[in-house]
Amino acid sequence: MNSAINVADYLLEGKNPAGTALLTTNQEYTYGNVRSATSKIENYLKRTGSTKGDRVLLISANDLFWVASYLGLLRSGMVCIPLPETISVESLEFIRRTTGARIVLAQSKPCAKLLTAFAGCHLLTDRDIPHISGPASQASFQRIPETPNGPAVDVNKCDLAALMFTSGSTGKPRGVMVSHGNIIANTESIIEYLELNERDRMMAVLPFHYCFGTSLLHTHLRVGGSLVLDSRFLYPETILQRMAETECTGFAGVPSHFQILLRTARLHTKCFPKLRHVQQAGGCLAPAFIRELRDALPATKVFIMYGQTEATARLSFLPPAFLETKAGSIGRGIPGVRLRVVNASGENVACGEVGEIIAEGENVTQGYWAAPEETASAFRDGKLYTGDLATVDSDGFIYIVDRKRNFLKCGGKRVGIQEIENRLLEFPCITEAAIVGIPDDLLGEAPRAFVVRRMPACEQFETCISSFFKHHFPRELHPKEIVALDRLPRSSAGKANKSELPLS
């Protein structure tokens, strides 16, 4: 069967109009508010003469405008391209050119620096802004009438819902083609293993343009729950206070979020009586931090998860009961997903042998937009070849070793960078660490360590960290340089961006 419900209706059907859907820093929005705002977006899209399958850019922070724009685009059968507010003009112009997008829905804040990229498009902003020369038309969300709309545009499960842009191997962004069927399959699976319901309230610090963040929106709208939208993670104590005040039942983050909350904020001393679960994905959280997280929140279930944009969002999870006995594992495939670790011949590896993770399931996307060679490399015979290297134990639990390209070769020995970073993060005087390889005349390649000190900084930091390396690492893995930074450069999703680390 090839039919599927439109994702927007799938998320909003049967909801109590008076039920709380979104809480921002200054306002609460009900499901009725969300529906009304969504209809305004649909009305605007009709005025532009857009049709099913058209691609539309969405540039906004997490707020009602983002949610209404996303749902309005999906109800109209159009393809949403969510992008960070911090996107460069060069990247935006590349994405517009590659996708043929002629409509932009944008918050007013990023518009000033992106003006040249809007030439010839239809521009809708969240509020009134001065007239811009260049766009084919310009309108304000505030001035669109709230006329009720009819049924959502019919779709099948293979129709595209979104292009989620990620960094590509060529240096140019590449758009992952996510269908309505992909989103529904992944959402159902996540709801099942997290046991979400209408009483759940998620603290959403992850941006919705990032697939992990979007999955939080999908799952909580589907069950009739609510989301607290707060972009103030630069002030982690403020986030913790907001979580307590709004009685959040869930928190989700990438490793840096937990590292900061555990070593620079008072997560250990705060009380969260309603906090039922936390979700960690978006990279490897070092075992030292997982232990600290479990100790800080003994009454809260900790879900360690693994996923990729190419799989809509989620691929595996480690049940909280196995945090100790299967430490370091990403668990097994989520419901509806089959994960295997295979060798170069495509055969399942033996216990302890390293191979590549491949995935099968309805959440595996269709490939990359206008990139046939990259698609053919990563998507083969309905399977996703993730590029992640891993081992499997006798119980079928998977342990990631590292990305295929994320290795150093020091003195002839091949070592995963993730392994070095995880061990380094056991040093209690730092909150974050990043390792890169630099040329070395003797070893061929040597580590350069970038670290963020825990504040207040310990005395004789350099001596202590050098001693730590001597006691915990073989000589060839001692860093050639140790560089202390105030913070690691981050992507808009909170992940470490090593390409922006200082070269010297």
Of 72, 79, 80, 78, the residue nearest 52 (C-alpha): 78
pLDDT digits (tens, 9 = 90+) for 123-170: 999 999 999 999 999 999 999 988 888 899 999 999 999 999 987 555
Instruction: Calculate the alpha carbon distances from 140 to 50, 106, 228, 473 in Å.
Output: 17, 10, 25, 58
Overall average pLDDT of the 372-389 stretch: 94
What type of residue is 271?
C
Provide the mean pLDDT of the chain. Answer: 92
pLDDT digits (tens, 9 = 90+) for 219-239: 999 999 999 999 999 999 999
Distance (Å, rounded) from C-alpha 361 to C-alpha 309?
Answer: 14
Of 322, 347, 336, 344, the residue nearest 398 (C-alpha): 322
**What is the per-residue pLDDT for 171?**
59
Beta-bridge partner residues of 3: 156
Going by pLDDT thresholds of 50, 70 and 90, the confidence category of residue 249 is very high
**What is the per-residue pLDDT for 414?**
65
Residue count of the chain = 504
Overall average pLDDT of the 270-288 stretch: 93
Overall average pLDDT of the 179-208 stretch: 98
Distance (Å, rounded) from C-alpha 172 to C-alpha 188?
Answer: 32
Backbone dihedral region for residue 427 (phi beyond 0: left; psi -120 to 50: alpha; all else: beta): beta
Confidence check: pLDDT of 4 > 80: no
**pTM of the entire structure?**
0.86
Of 348, 488, 479, the residue nearest 423 (C-alpha): 479
pLDDT digits (tens, 9 = 90+) for 99-112: 999 999 999 999 98
Structural domains of the chain, with CATH = 3-156 (3.40.50.12780), 180-403 (3.40.50.12780), 407-500 (3.30.300.30)
**What is the per-residue pLDDT for 181?**
97
Instruction: Pull the structure tokens for residue 282.
Output: 């978006």
Of 216, 188, 243, the residue nearest 67 (C-alpha): 216
**What is the per-residue pLDDT for 168?**
57
pLDDT digits (tens, 9 = 90+) for 19-65: 999 999 999 999 999 999 999 999 999 999 999 999 999 999 999 99
Distance (Å, rounded) from C-alpha 95 to C-alpha 406?
Answer: 27
Task: Decide if 83 contacts 165 (C-beta within 8 A).
Answer: yes
Distance (Å, rounded) from C-alpha 419 to C-alpha 441?
Answer: 23
When computed from its CA atoms, the radius of gyration of the chain, rounded to whole angstroms, is 23
Of 156, 76, 169, the residue nearest 371 (C-alpha): 169
